[in-house]
Every structure is written in structure tokens, then in C-alpha cells.
Amino acid sequence: MKIFTSMPKTLKPYYQDELSKAQSALLKNELQKSWYHLERAHILGQPYPVAHTAVHWKMLKFGIKIKNGKEIIGQLPRLIFGGVKSFVGKIPVGNTGGANVSPLKPMEIPEDLASIINNIKTN
């Protein structure tokens, strides 16, 4: 079992870019676009405890901003346990991280993100 502690330096710019795009869209009140980028950041950050927890924190804050009770309640256990699951390598790969999907459900990774992830692993 591989234990991940920190995100590879070569992956960080892609992760940060998704978070920046999410924030920018949120400031423009483009809620669907903001959420889309949070989900993408989640996919990239999911194997790494700090990054994974940080995305769930941002998802919780998003839920609070839009006053979505389901998202707020759904993010709480993800916020608490997501990083732990990353640390021990027990994540549902590709899961987008929102309360609209089971926290245990593996999902298909979008092609462009899969390419980024695969290139990082081989470098």
C-alpha cells in the first residue's frame, strides 16, 4: 500500500489552477462553473490528505454560501474523514466529492485529468 503525504510539485499547478478557476467563477456568481472546478480539484487532490481536506473545506464553504443544507451536511463527514482515507490510500478514485454522489463511489476520471495524473505518475 502506498501512503501519500504531499502532492507532487508537478501536480500542484493543475490543482491550484482548478481552485483559482473555482474562486474566480464564484466571484462572478457562476455557481455551476465554480462547482465544476471544485470537483476537478477534488479529483486531482483526492490522493493527498492536505489537498483533499482543503477541497472539502472549500466545498463546505460553497454549500454555506449557496445555503444548500444537503451539501453542508454532506461535506461534514467528508471533511473529517476524507484526508484520513487519503492518508491510508483508501479513496474511491475519480469521485467528485460532492454530497450529490456517494462518498464511496469510484467514478471515471475525465480524460484530460487522467492524462495529467498519468503523466505525473510516470515522471
Indicate yes or no: pTM above 0.85: yes
pLDDT for 87: 84
Domain ranges of the chain: 12-122
DSSP 6-73: S--TTTHHHHHHHHHHHHHHHHTT-HHHHHHHHHHHHHHHTTSHHHHHHHHHHHHHHHHHTT-HHHHH
pLDDT for 120: 85
Question: In this structure, which amino acid lies at residue 81?
Answer: F
* Three cell numbers, residue 103: 462518498
Q: Is the dihedral of CA 30, 31, 35, 36 positive or negative?
A: negative
Residue 1 scores a pLDDT above 60: no
pLDDT for 3: 59
Per the listing, cell 498519468 goes with 118
Pick the more confident residue, 86 or 73: 73
Tell me the pLDDT tens digit for each residue of 103-122: 999 999 999 999 999 998 65
* Three cell numbers, residue 7: 502532492
Tell me the pLDDT tens digit for each residue of 46-55: 999 999 999 9
